[in-house]
């Protein structure tokens, strides 16, 4: 009996940890929409953690530039048990961006849905 209970406990822990593994962040799941501002050739993203699942913490915001289309694609990752961060800096020169004018910034959800963010 104890052995069966232990096995069920271990399975529960494994399944729980898998469901709380690193996952993408949906734009509409954040407590407030993300904000972005430009400071000295650096984009500063301000985020609020998930309003759906309070155990998940946003720990990374990433961006990729498509200079031909003048689009900046932004994604974020969240996970449990990480240090809470709410500000993320991305240098424009690290993305190969020289001119921010006319650039569209899109937040991309894990399912591919995009939401424009105003600078």
Backbone φ and ψ for 71, nearest 5 degrees, come out as -125, 135
Query: 2 lies in a domain?
Result: no
Q: What count of residues does the chain have?
A: 119
Query: 12 lies in a domain?
Result: no
b/e 24-46 (16+ beta carbons within 10 angstroms → b):
ebbbebbeeebebeeeeeebebe
Spatial separation of the C-alpha atoms in residues 94 and 64, rounded to whole Å: 10
Please write the tens of the pLDDT for every residue from 27-39.
Answer: 999 989 999 999 9
Query: 87 lies in a domain?
Result: yes
Asked if the model's pLDDT at residue 8 lies above 90, the reply is no
What is the average pLDDT across 1-13?
57
Query: 3 lies in a domain?
Result: no
Please write the tens of the pLDDT for every residue from 39-52.
Answer: 988 999 999 988 87
Count of domains forming the chain: 1
Spatial separation of the C-alpha atoms in residues 46 and 102, rounded to whole Å: 21
- CATH number assigned to the domain comprising residue 113: 2.60.40
Q: Which domain holds residue 47?
A: 23-117
Query: 29 lies in a domain?
Result: yes
Q: How many CB atoms lie within 10 A of CB 95?
A: 16
Query: 108 lies in a domain?
Result: yes
């Amino acid at each position: 009996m104890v052995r069966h209970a232990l096995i069920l406990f271990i399975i529960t822990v494994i399944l729980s940890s898998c469901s709380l593994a690193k996952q993408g962040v949906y734009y509409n799941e954040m407590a407030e929409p993300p904000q972005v501002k430009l400071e000295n050739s650096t984009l500063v993203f301000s985020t609020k953690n998930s309003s759906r699942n309070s155990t998940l913490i946003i720990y990374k915001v990433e961006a990729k530039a498509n200079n031909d289309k003048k689009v900046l694609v932004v994604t974020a990752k969240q996970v449990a048990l990480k240090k809470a961060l709410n500000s993320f800096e991305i240098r424009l020169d690290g993305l190969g961006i020289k001119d921010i004018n006319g650039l569209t910034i899109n937040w991309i959800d894990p399912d591919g849905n995009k939401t424009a963010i105003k600078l």
